[in-house]
Amino acid sequence: MADPNPARTFADPEDPIIAATVPDHYTPLLDVDPPAGENSRRPLKGFLVILSGLVLVGLLMALISENGPSVSQDSQQNDLTLNAPAESTNISAQFLEPASRGPSTGVSEKSFRLHSGVRAPFPWSNTMLTWQRTGYHFQPEKNWMNDPNGPMFYGGWYHFFYQYNPDAAVWGNIVWGHAVSKDLIEWLHLPLAMVADQWYDTNGVWTGSATLLSDGQVIMLYTGATNESVQVQNLAYPADLSDPLLVDWVKYPGNPVLVPPPGIDDKDFRDPTTAWYWPDGKWRIAIGSKVNKTGISLVYNTEDFKKYELIEGVLHAVPGTGMWECVDLYPVSLKEDNGLDTSFNGPGVKHVLKASLDDDKNDYYAIGTYSLESGNWTPDNPNLDVGIGLRYDYGKFYASKTFYDQNKQRRILWGWIGETDGESADIKKGWASVQSIPRTVVFDKKTGTNILQWPVAEIKSLRKSSKKFDKLEVGPGSVVTLEVEKATQMDITAEFEIDKEALKRIGESDVEYSCRTSGGSAQRGELGPFGLLLLADEGRCEQTPVYFYVAKGTDGQLKTFFCTDESRSSLANDVDKRIFGSTVPVIKGEKLSMRILVDHSIIESFAQGGRTCITSRVYPTKAIYGAAQLYVFNNATSASITASIQTWAMKSAYIRPYSSHQES
């Protein structure tokens, strides 16, 4: 739809600092209809809520015009200090948190809700909101998106399906969006693959997985929410296997093929996995569930994907982890760097079991053994079991799904990256959520205890101009500006070496360091923090540090932490600003290394080749467009570091709408 007010994509008169730098090629803000969520059947109530919201917006705008700060105000901080979180802009009016979306229908909370309760909204300008849309991450043209579904390679195309609300930028009315790509980077949007048009999925076409059979068939199993909000499993398949785009899909007339078994709640039975082939000639699938507070994965046998037998026992269970969503089970090679088909098992193979925990909205994985005798999976280290140990990502990353790419013999991981701003801002900008850059997954042969995640090689096709900064000496308490072409859309690699004498001098600590609770990048220690300041304005009142911190623990051993600090990422008060991170294993002789993908409001960071990953959503108000800058910093108290950094400006990916059967 054409924008009736195209001028609104440019800087507002009140935003002179942005007006000087905003380009004219960013996608305009979309026209947005009132949100259609799970309460959309009550139009009168929805109308009154919207009307009240409009009145409130009017009052707020009046207040802002008199008292609101200008985003062009001069920074109050012109030196190194990293001592305190950014001051949030406060407005006297208050608004209630957005409505809960999801739990009443039996799925996890989909609304982002600030933890401190009632907040006042920040006066977002159209210029700020337009900047937030990404340049090379996958997202629909408009509206809400969440879980990745059924990824596969078929007919020369990578297919990607996703949870989608075609009516609004909030969760609700979920159907399946569909897009295809030749390279996992540039995408063609196709018509909706499946909509909620049957009694067994009328309340939502929810998460599912694809299985490719040896005879060329494509099996798609997905969870449907029935007219009574019971979670059931359904079968769908392409209408025409000769169509490489798989535009049309057929739902099996005998759906649902699975209903919750005895002892499982109607709303705790969802997200079927890709099937794997069993030596007895049958296929097996897993489905997430729980019993009381124990997270479990049920397993079923099937020969034709229409009739199923529940296997006695469970694939795995972990007490205290709650509902398991989006379960995934796949093999990894202990010797090779290539991926393995989901059905592969045998010597030299371990199996990764992953679950998305509904209770804390994080994706946990563990490495273990999948027994062909018992049909159970057992973790190598019970202390690092699913839900209590390792995570795919220590930031904003959920409901992930892998698939085996037989085209290039690799396993690819997708993850949903939700918003952490206010729902009202999402409605105004007309979209919500992005997907992570697809990542390859392999076993870390050096540590033997974790996987490695890394952006697919195809992302390098978007690299443009490059700059190198070799062997920069950065003393304690220093910040160095890195002159780059485009600080809002970059691919960055960096290596750091700590002064060896400082390593020898470090004393023992009686307190264990934690990225989350130890003060972020403002907390100074002998060997850190040091790293990069991303999306920072000239005065650094807005900045997002991604950094290492080396500390000697209570056991006397050196530990390396990899963290992202959002506490100063924005002056806005209605966005989440957390400190994320975890330890990262460092092998003797390795330099500390990171790779960072910056794409407007999303930052994906990978330490030590992908042993620890952190994804952040950030919403700066000043450090946008040409006002954003990049710095290297060292906030250690005594150690100097040597940094070698390479940056690439990134082109935007060509993600285009569907117009007809397009095969090139």
Listed in order, strand segments (DSSP E) in 174-333 are 175-181, 187-194, 205-212, 218-225, 231-238, 249-251, 276-277, 283-291, 294-302, 308-310, 316-318, 324-333
Q: Is the N-terminal amide bond of 69 cis, ω within 30° of 0?
A: no
Active site residues: 147
Say how far apart CA 574 and CA 123 lie, in whole Å: 10
Closest CA to 466 of 480, 484, 482: 484
Please answer whether residues 649 and 536 qualify as being in contact, where contact means their C-beta atoms are separated by less than 8 angstroms: no
Please answer whether residues 353 and 329 qualify as being in contact, where contact means their C-beta atoms are separated by less than 8 angstroms: yes
Closest CA to 376 of 318, 433, 335, 325: 318
Query: What's CA 64's distance to the chain center, in Å?
Result: 33
pLDDT tens-digit series, residues 589-631? 999 999 999 999 999 999 999 999 999 999 999 999 999 999 9
Q: Tell me, what's the pLDDT at 509? A: 64
**Domain-wise residue ranges, the chain:** 143-457, 463-650
Q: Tell me, what's the pLDDT at 66? A: 37
Say how far apart CA 607 and CA 591 lie, in whole Å: 11
Q: Tell me, what's the pLDDT at 57? A: 38
What are the average pLDDT values for consecutive 10-residue runs of the chain, which has 664 residues? 32 34 35 36 34 39 36 34 45 52 69 57 95 98 98 98 97 97 98 98 98 97 97 98 98 98 97 96 97 98 98 97 98 97 96 97 98 94 98 98 98 98 94 98 98 98 97 97 96 96 76 89 94 97 97 84 98 95 96 98 98 98 98 96 98 89 49
Please answer whether residues 160 and 151 qualify as being in contact, where contact means their C-beta atoms are separated by less than 8 angstroms: yes
- 178, 183, 186, 189: CA torsion to nearest 10: -20
Could you write out the three-class secondary structure of 325-370?
EEEEEEEEECCCCCCCCCCCCCCCEEEEEEEEECCCCEEEEEEEEE
CATH architecture group of domain 463-650: Sandwich (2.60)
Q: Tell me, what's the pLDDT at 163? A: 98
DSSP state of 29: P
User: What is the phi-psi region of residue 556: left when phi exceeds 0, alpha when psi lies from -120 to 50, beta otherwise?
Assistant: left
Q: Tell me, what's the pLDDT at 83? A: 43
Q: Tell me, what's the pLDDT at 553? A: 76
Say how far apart CA 216 and CA 406 lie, in whole Å: 13
User: Helix, strand, or coil here: 36?
Assistant: coil
Please answer whether residues 396 and 418 qualify as being in contact, where contact means their C-beta atoms are separated by less than 8 angstroms: yes
CATH architecture group of domain 143-457: 5 Propeller (2.115)
User: What is the phi-psi region of residue 540: left when phi exceeds 0, alpha when psi lies from -120 to 50, beta otherwise?
Assistant: left
Burial profile 233-247: b = 16 or more Cβ within 10 angstroms, e = fewer: bbbbebeeeeeebbb
User: Helix, strand, or coil here: 425?
Assistant: helix
Say how far apart CA 539 and CA 571 lie, in whole Å: 13
Please answer whether residues 491 and 650 qualify as being in contact, where contact means their C-beta atoms are separated by less than 8 angstroms: yes
Cα four-point dihedral sign 36, 37, 41, 44: negative
Quickly tell me which residue has 């026209």 as its tokens: 31
* Tokens found for residue 521: 């990048």
- 203, 204, 208, 210: CA torsion to nearest 10: 110
Question: Residue 329 burial by CB count (10 A; 0-12/13-18/19+): exposed, middle or buried?
Answer: buried
Residue 64 is inside which H or E element, if any? Answer: helix 43-67
Say how far apart CA 460 and CA 488 lie, in whole Å: 17
Q: Tell me, what's the pLDDT at 113? A: 54
Amino acid at 329: L
Say how far apart CA 434 and CA 145 lie, in whole Å: 7
User: Helix, strand, or coil here: 636?
Assistant: coil
Closest CA to 655 of 27, 154, 204: 27
